[in-house]
């Protein structure tokens, strides 16, 4: 690998890292054909972890970080003075194939700054994916970023070669978009999401290959004044209307050469974490957006307790719950019990009566669960009425400084 | 009961365990009476040969599923623990494996999880290095890996499915796996030195790893939880970690403290204006886009574009190009097209002054011998192409659009409507033109001879009505 290519890679990986999406999951199981390369297992694989704790699954790069747009939160906006570079289609293909052969990556995540026009940019992205699939018989994972301003037929062609497509919402309100991302159009973003959602669904029904791992999006947290409640309600609507697979919450992070409109400060990582937990509650724990909203304090999720615990503390009259009797839905509402723990409880109690020790073997969250649970040998002594319960269960403030 | 010692092969001996456990259960030997020894470990007790298998054991599925992964675990107690599980199941606790809270089941579940995690980490963290050329000029790669459990045989097929096109070897302290493009085979343990020391992409990969790290989010505990240190020495990129961590604080401080700089480049006014003008601004520009696009379903020779003068008063929309259209690159030139031409003539419509196009621009077929049998486009495919149809008709701006057949109706209106119900003047939603629905001429070709004459006459009659409508100016 020559130095010029290495230098481009450094610039264009640095430029792509603020996109939180990393998943390589959701594609159907595939094997390479004779002479081809790559497979997908369905579950996704993280091939390394960087010191920020995030996984490296796909080669996540931009085709170029030259950009005509001027989105204030973005390191690549046209008014930023960062170093610029541009890959050729073949360079991206070579990097993907050679990295893949060495088992460094699951595939490619390709995005780009807008050069010349959204259509031109989208065409280049599609050419990379098409070359990988057709010339190299590449069966690994491909995630293409979709440019919502591109013509609808191009957006739809991307789905022929990509496993996952994503359009970033970036900011949850029309007003914030207007202020911080003047070239973007909230209506166009949602139209494109809707269009893609429709195509993906239709292809599934017709058993055609079209973005089989669905679509996802990203929202930046902390760049505008949106509350957690409004973010969660936006998410619920997106999951509902467009059948999104994932919404990524990305804590707004200081960037080199930041715009003056957004002062640089440490990213709100704990807030991001709580939003993911709230998102999970809606997707896997049957919480409604109203339930989540009910766990907030003037629209914001608590940072010292997780949203499920916050909800339980507000709804103490629904507890304690008998681990040997309660239905699955109610067990899912017990703080500290995850979906898998609940399923094991439901299976085990058919053949045994569960004591507190038994529950301890099924979850690592017993400390949080205990005040809300009744087991064969345990009944909380009015713990749910105690005023200091929250303080006893809260996490110590997380170490947010760096070391 | 007499104490017994069962000796199994070193590593994971699923077959030996299976044979032994059948005999032991059949003979009513309790787990307490058995000492299991794997491999070369010396034994103080008289040894029992594994010998002939006993009768097959009918185990509940959840129990049977637990055995193979647990056997791969390196814990010397693994066989004894499985024996205890199977013994209790055989004694009547048929649902034992479902009681995840039972201490024995819990321990076995943790062992299975550890093996699963080890497998997953091997798939993730193993790194190949280029090792010259293999057989017949094929590329060759090699890797050194130290799994925690006896998982090599279980892990190798994943690599065969993923990397069939080059030769590779995976060496571990317990054994090796080799792929030659056809078959996977296993050999003796390898040595780290047998794998090349360098690879020309490793420096680039480490650069990538370093660049994708965001210093403002440093979280070492999260990294170590997912990528424990024991794996690091076989992963080249981890050499960058100390430097990245050391520099992170300084880099973040710099980003936060540095005052925003004024942009050095001017606003690219002309490029921005050009960007706004990406929409095809003429029928020719649109056609160029269509021509350059790959067919949604592969196979077509070329895109078949619409034909006729812009500004035509009447436009006809068919389904998709057929065999002849695909070869000649013109719409309505096959048998159905010829029938349409005849009907147009009889209805007094000049084909050259009408606009003819299709809802779908590429031929979709199934090859049967030398013949290419037309296949109806799906609703999803029609939807893919409707953008172009809409733009095309906007450029042509006809007064009346005639949908020939159900696919055209679907493309124009977005709805599935039976032709028999919709036939005649129609509305395709809020469009700047009138609509009209009739059958597709290929439908006439498929009718038996005795019905065709009547249907053809009705078709010509429809075309006459359409022509009259098209002559009528649109209401203002």
- Say whether pLDDT at B403 is over 80: yes
Q: Read off the DSSP letter of residue B261.
A: P
Whether the Cβ atoms of residue A367 and residue A361 lie closer than 8 Å to each other: no
Considering the domain boundaries, does residue B158 fall inside one?
yes
Q: Do B384 and A99 touch (CB under 8 A)?
A: no
pLDDT tens, residue by residue, A226-244: 999 999 999 999 999 999 9
Q: What is the mean pLDDT of residues B120-126?
A: 98
How does residue A256 score in pLDDT terms, banded at 50, 70 and 90? confident
**Of A22, A20, A17, A121, nearest to A66 (Cα)?**
A121
State whether B423 and B440 are in the same domain: yes
User: A374 is in which domain, residue-wise?
Assistant: 268-403
Closest residue in B to A29 (Cα–Cα)? B161
- Tell which of A257, A286, A310 closes a domain: A257
Cα–Cα distance, A347 to A341 (Å, whole number): 10
Q: What is the mean pLDDT of residues B97-115?
A: 97
How does residue A383 score in pLDDT terms, banded at 50, 70 and 90? low
- Tell which of A257, A285, A320 closes a domain: A257
To the nearest whole angstrom, how far is the Cα of A333 from the nearest Cα of chain B?
Answer: 20
State whether A370 and A294 are in the same domain: yes
pLDDT of B378 reads 92
Q: Cβ contacts (< 8 Å) between B143 and chain A: which residues?
A: 103
Q: Where are the alpha helices (DSSP H) in B128-175?
A: 152-162
pLDDT tens, residue by residue, A89-112: 999 999 999 999 999 999 999 999
Q: What is the mean pLDDT of residues B300-326?
A: 96
A334-358 in b/e form (b: 16+ CB < 10 A) is bbbbbeebbebbebbbeebebebeb
Considering the domain boundaries, does residue B265 fall inside one?
no
Whether the Cβ atoms of residue A293 and residue A227 lie closer than 8 Å to each other: no
State whether A18 and A52 are in the same domain: yes
Cα–Cα distance, A182 to A73 (Å, whole number): 12
How does residue A403 score in pLDDT terms, banded at 50, 70 and 90? very low
State whether A172 and A316 are in the same domain: no
Cα–Cα distance, A86 to A81 (Å, whole number): 16
Considering the domain boundaries, does residue B266 fall inside one?
no
- Tell which of B176, B194, B212 closes a domain: B194
Sign of the torsion angle spanned by Cα atoms B398, B403, B408, B411: positive
pLDDT tens, residue by residue, A280-307: 999 999 999 999 999 999 999 999 999 9
Considering the domain boundaries, does residue A402 fall inside one?
yes
B460-476 in b/e form (b: 16+ CB < 10 A) is bebbeebbebbeeeeee
Beta strand B167-171 pairing with B176-179: antiparallel
- Tell which of A257, A281, A306 closes a domain: A257
Q: Cβ contacts (< 8 Å) between B213 and chain A: which residues?
A: 17, 50-52
Rounded to 10 deg, the angle between the B61-71 and B14-26 helix axes is 130
Cα–Cα distance, B444 to B405 (Å, whole number): 11
pLDDT of B2 reads 75
pLDDT tens, residue by residue, A47-78: 999 999 999 999 999 999 999 999 988 889 99
Let me know if B218 is exposed, middle or buried by CB neighbors in 10 A (0-12, 13-18, 19+). Answer: buried
Q: How far is CA B54 from CA B16, B18, B83, in A?
A: 12, 9, 15
Chain A CB within 8 Å of residue B268 CB? yes
- Say whether pLDDT at A399 is over 80: no
Considering the domain boundaries, does residue A281 fall inside one?
yes
pLDDT tens, residue by residue, B214-240: 999 999 999 999 999 999 999 999 999
State whether A230 and A111 are in the same domain: yes
Q: Do A116 and B99 touch (CB under 8 A)?
A: no
Cα–Cα distance, A271 to A222 (Å, whole number): 9
Q: Which residues, including other chains, have CB under 8 Å from residue B64's CB and lie 6 or more apart?
A: none
pLDDT of B49 reads 58
Cis peptide before B100 (omega within 30 of 0): no
Q: What is the mean pLDDT of residues B424-439?
A: 94
Question: In chain A, how many domains are there?
Answer: 2
State whether B95 and B155 are in the same domain: no
How does residue B136 score in pLDDT terms, banded at 50, 70 and 90? confident
State whether A227 and A315 are in the same domain: no
Chain A CB within 8 Å of residue B378 CB? yes
Whether the Cβ atoms of residue B336 and residue B440 lie closer than 8 Å to each other: yes
How does residue B53 score in pLDDT terms, banded at 50, 70 and 90? low
Cα–Cα distance, B129 to B156 (Å, whole number): 16
State whether B308 and B411 are in the same domain: yes
Q: Cβ contacts (< 8 Å) between B140 and chain A: which residues?
A: none
Chain B CB within 8 Å of residue A29 CB? no
Q: Do A361 and B103 touch (CB under 8 A)?
A: yes
Q: Read off the DSSP letter of residue A51.
A: T
Distance of CA A133 to the CA centre of its chain: 25
A151: Cα within 13 Å, side-chain hemisphere = 25
Whether the Cβ atoms of residue B174 and residue B147 lie closer than 8 Å to each other: yes
Cα–Cα distance, B79 to B31 (Å, whole number): 10
State whether B171 and B252 are in the same domain: no
How does residue B454 score in pLDDT terms, banded at 50, 70 and 90? very high
Whether the Cβ atoms of residue B320 and residue B357 lie closer than 8 Å to each other: no
State whether B412 and B313 are in the same domain: yes
Q: What is the secondary structure of B369-426 as a DSSP string?
A: TTEEEE-PPPHHHHHHHHHHHHHHHHHH--SEEEEESHHHHHHHHSS---HHHH-EEE
Q: Do A265 and B378 touch (CB under 8 A)?
A: no
Considering the domain boundaries, does residue B277 fall inside one?
no
- Tell which of B194, B214, B242 closes a domain: B194
> How many distinct helices (H) and strands (E) make up chain A?
15, 12
**Of A113, A123, A115, nearest to A71 (Cα)?**
A113
* 3-class SS of residue A68: coil
- Say whether pLDDT at A373 is over 70: yes
Cα–Cα distance, B396 to B198 (Å, whole number): 63
State whether A58 and A183 are in the same domain: yes
Question: In chain B, how many domains are there?
Answer: 4
Q: Which residues, including other chains, have CB under 8 Å from residue B366's CB and lie 6 or more apart?
A: B372, B373, B375
Considering the domain boundaries, does residue A150 fall inside one?
yes
State whether A246 and A330 are in the same domain: no
Which of B411 and B268 is assigned the larger pLDDT?
Answer: B411
Q: Cβ contacts (< 8 Å) between B103 and chain A: which residues?
A: 361
State whether A141 and A172 are in the same domain: yes
Q: Cβ contacts (< 8 Å) between B378 and chain A: which residues?
A: 202, 206, 208
Q: Do B143 and A6 touch (CB under 8 A)?
A: no
Cα–Cα distance, A228 to A243 (Å, whole number): 21
State whether B43 and B138 are in the same domain: no
Cα–Cα distance, B25 to B13 (Å, whole number): 18
Q: What is the secondary structure of B32-98 as a DSSP string?
A: GGEEEEETT---SS-EE---S--SPP---HHHHHHHHHHHTS--TTHHHHHHHHHHHHHTT-TTGGG
How does residue B472 score in pLDDT terms, banded at 50, 70 and 90? confident
pLDDT tens, residue by residue, A181-221: 988 888 889 989 998 998 899 889 988 888 999 999 999 99
Cα–Cα distance, A290 to A293 (Å, whole number): 5
State whether B298 and B408 are in the same domain: yes
B316 has which bridge partners?
B356, B402
To the nearest whole angstrom, how far is the Cα of B107 from the nearest Cα of chain A?
Answer: 9
- Partner residue opposite A202 with nearest CB, options B102, B271, B379: B379
- Partner residue opposite A32 with nearest CB, options B98, B161, B215: B161
pLDDT of B335 reads 94
Considering the domain boundaries, does residue B261 fall inside one?
no
Cα–Cα distance, B411 to B435 (Å, whole number): 13
Q: Which residues, including other chains, have CB under 8 Å from residue B127's CB and lie 6 or more apart?
A: A102, A103, A104, B143, B234, B235, B236
> How many distinct helices (H) and strands (E) make up chain B?
17, 15
State whether B158 and B211 are in the same domain: no
> What is the rounded (10 degree) CA torsion for A31, A33, A38, A44?
-20
State whether A231 and A292 are in the same domain: no
State whether A151 and A222 are in the same domain: yes
How does residue A385 score in pLDDT terms, banded at 50, 70 and 90? low
Cα–Cα distance, B402 to B426 (Å, whole number): 9
Q: What is the mean pLDDT of chain A?
A: 92
State whether B430 and B334 are in the same domain: yes
- Say whether pLDDT at A127 is over 80: yes
How does residue B3 score in pLDDT terms, banded at 50, 70 and 90? confident
pLDDT tens, residue by residue, B253-281: 888 887 777 888 888 888 888 888 888 99
State whether B416 and B294 are in the same domain: yes
The residue among A4, A36, A49 with the most chain B CBs within 10 A of its CB, best to mutate, is A49
Q: What is the mean pLDDT of residues B27-44?
A: 80
State whether B105 and B230 are in the same domain: no
Q: Do B129 and A59 touch (CB under 8 A)?
A: no
Q: Do A117 and B263 touch (CB under 8 A)?
A: no
pLDDT of B294 reads 84
Q: How far is CA A163 from CA A89, A233, B162, B245, B359, in A?
A: 19, 27, 17, 34, 27
Considering the domain boundaries, does residue A262 fall inside one?
no
pLDDT of A401 reads 43
State whether B305 and B445 are in the same domain: yes
pLDDT of A152 reads 87
pLDDT of B468 reads 94
* 3-class SS of residue A290: helix
Which of B476 and A348 is assigned the larger pLDDT?
Answer: A348
The two most distant CA atoms of chain B are separated, in Å, by 107
Q: Which residues, including other chains, have CB under 8 Å from residue A198's CB and lie 6 or more apart?
A: B383
State whether A306 and A366 are in the same domain: yes
The domain that holds B434 is classified in CATH as 3.40.470.10
Cα–Cα distance, B28 to A152 (Å, whole number): 71
State whether A212 and A351 are in the same domain: no
Q: What is the distance between the terminal CA atoms of chain A, rounded to a whole angstrom?
A: 35
User: B185 is in which domain, residue-wise?
Assistant: 126-194
Cα–Cα distance, B60 to B71 (Å, whole number): 18
The domain that holds A220 is classified in CATH as 3.20.20.70
Q: What is the mean pLDDT of chain B?
A: 92
Considering the domain boundaries, does residue B353 fall inside one?
yes
Considering the domain boundaries, does residue A263 fall inside one?
no
pLDDT of A402 reads 41
- Say whether pLDDT at B48 is over 70: no
Whether the Cβ atoms of residue A235 and residue A282 lie closer than 8 Å to each other: yes
- Tell which of B121, B147, B164 closes a domain: B121
A76: Cα within 13 Å, side-chain hemisphere = 26
B-contacting residues in A 191-220 (Cβ below 8 Å): 198-199, 202-203, 205-206, 208, 210
* Angular region, B458: left φ>0, alpha ψ -120 to 50, beta rest: alpha
Cα–Cα distance, B314 to B465 (Å, whole number): 12
């Amino acid at each position: 690998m020559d130095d010029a290519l290495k230098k481009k890679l450094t610039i264009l990986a640095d430029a792509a890292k603020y996109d939180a999406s990393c998943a390589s999951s959701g594609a159907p199981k595939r094997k390479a054909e004779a002479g081809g390369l790559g497979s997908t297992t369905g579950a996704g694989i993280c091939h390394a972890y960087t010191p920020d704790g995030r996984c490296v699954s796909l080669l996540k790069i931009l085709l170029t970080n030259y950009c005509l747009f001027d989105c204030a939160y973005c390191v690549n906006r046209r008014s930023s003075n960062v170093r610029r570079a541009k890959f050729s289609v073949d360079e991206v293909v070579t990097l993907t194939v050679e990295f893949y052969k060495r088992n460094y990556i699951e595939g490619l995540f390709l995005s780009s700054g807008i050069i010349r026009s959204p259509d031109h940019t989208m065409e280049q992205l599609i050419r990379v994916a098409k070359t990988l699939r057709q010339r190299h018989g590449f069966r690994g994972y491909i995630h293409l970023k979709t440019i919502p301003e591109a013509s609808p037929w191009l957006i739809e062609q991307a789905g022929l070669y990509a496993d996952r497509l994503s359009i970033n919402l970036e900011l949850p309100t029309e007003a914030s978009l207007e202020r911080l991302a003047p070239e973007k159009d909230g209506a166009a973003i949602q139209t494109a999401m809707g269009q893609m959602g429709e195509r993906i669904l239709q292809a599934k029904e017709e058993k055609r290959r079209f973005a089989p791992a669905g679509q996802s999006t990203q929202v930046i947290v902390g760049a505008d004044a949106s509350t957690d409640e409004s973010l969660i309600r936006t998410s619920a609507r997106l999951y509902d209307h467009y059948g999104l697979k994932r919404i990524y919450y990305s804590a707004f992070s200081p960037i080199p050469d930041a715009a003056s409109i957004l002062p640089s400060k440490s990213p709100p990582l704990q807030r991001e974490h709580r939003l993911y937990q709230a998102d999970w509650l809606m997707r896997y724990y049957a919480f409604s957006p109203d339930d989540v909203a009910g766990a907030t304090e003037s629209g914001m999720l608590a940072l010292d307790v997780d949203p499920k615990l916050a909800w339980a503390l507000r709804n103490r009259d629904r507890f304690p719950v008998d681990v040997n009797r309660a239905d699955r839905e109610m067990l899912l509402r017990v703080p500290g019990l995850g979906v898998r723990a609940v399923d094991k409880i439901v299976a085990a109690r058919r053949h045994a009566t569960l004591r507190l020790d038994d529950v301890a073997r099924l979850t690592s969250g017993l400390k949080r669960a205990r005040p809300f649970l009744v087991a064969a040998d345990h009944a909380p002594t009015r713990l749910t009425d105690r005023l200091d319960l929250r303080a006893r269960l809260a996490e110590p403030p997380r170490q947010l400084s760096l070391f | 009961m007499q104490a017994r010692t069962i000796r199994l092969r070193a590593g994971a001996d699923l077959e030996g365990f299976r044979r032994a456990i059948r005999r032991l259960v059949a003979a009513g030997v309790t787990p307490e009476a058995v000492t299991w020894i794997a491999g070369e470990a010396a034994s103080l007790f008289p040894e029992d040969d594994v010998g002939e298998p006993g009768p097959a054991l009918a185990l509940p599925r959840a129990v049977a599923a637990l055995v193979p992964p647990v056997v791969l675990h390196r814990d010397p107690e693994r066989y004894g623990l499985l024996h205890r599980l199977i013994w209790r199941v055989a004694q009547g606790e048929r649902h034992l494996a479902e009681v995840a809270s039972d201490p024995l089941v819990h321990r076995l579940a943790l062992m299975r999880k550890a093996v699963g995690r080890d497998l997953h980490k091997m798939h993730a963290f193993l790194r190949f290095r280029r090792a010259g050329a293999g057989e017949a000029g094929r590329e060759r790669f090699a890797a050194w890996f130290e799994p925690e459990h006896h998982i090599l045989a279980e892990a190798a097929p994943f690599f065969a499915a993923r990397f069939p096109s080059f030769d590779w070897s995976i060496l571990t302290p317990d054994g090796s796996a080799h792929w030659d493009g056809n078959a996977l085979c296993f050999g003796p343990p390898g040595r780290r030195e047998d794998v090349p020391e360098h690879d020309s992409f490793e420096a680039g990969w480490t650069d990538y790893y370093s660049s994708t790290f965001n210093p403002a989010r440093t979280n070492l505990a999260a990294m170590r939880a997912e990528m424990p240190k024991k794996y690091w020495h076989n992963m080249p990129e981890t050499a960058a970690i100390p430097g990245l961590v050391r520099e992170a604080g300084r880099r973040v401080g710099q980003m936060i403290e540095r005052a925003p700089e004024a942009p050095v480049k001017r606003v690219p006014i002309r490029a921005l204006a050009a960007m706004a003008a990406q929409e095809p601004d003429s029928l020719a520009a649109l056609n160029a886009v269509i021509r350059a696009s790959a067919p949604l379903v592969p196979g077509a020779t070329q895109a078949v574009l619409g034909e006729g003068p812009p500004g035509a008063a009447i436009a006809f929309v068919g389904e998709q190009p057929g065999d002849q259209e695909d070869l000649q690159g013109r719409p309505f030139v096959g048998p159905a097209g010829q029938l349409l031409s005849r009907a147009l003539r009889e209805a007094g419509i000049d084909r050259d002054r009408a606009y003819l196009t299709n809802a779908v621009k590429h031929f979709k077929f199934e090859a049967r011998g030398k013949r290419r049998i037309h296949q109806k486009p799906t609703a999803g495919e029609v939807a893919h192409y409707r953008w172009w149809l809409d733009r095309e008709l906007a450029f042509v701006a006809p007064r009346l659009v005639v949908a020939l057949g159900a696919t055209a109706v679907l493309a124009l209106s977005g709805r599935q409507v039976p032709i028999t119900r919709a036939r005649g003047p129609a509305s395709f939603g809020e469009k700047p033109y009138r609509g009209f629905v009739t059958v597709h001429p290929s439908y006439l070709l498929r009718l038996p001879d005795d019905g065709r004459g009547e249907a053809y006459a009705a078709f010509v009659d429809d075309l006459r009505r359409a022509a009259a409508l098209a002559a009528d100016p649109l209401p203002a």
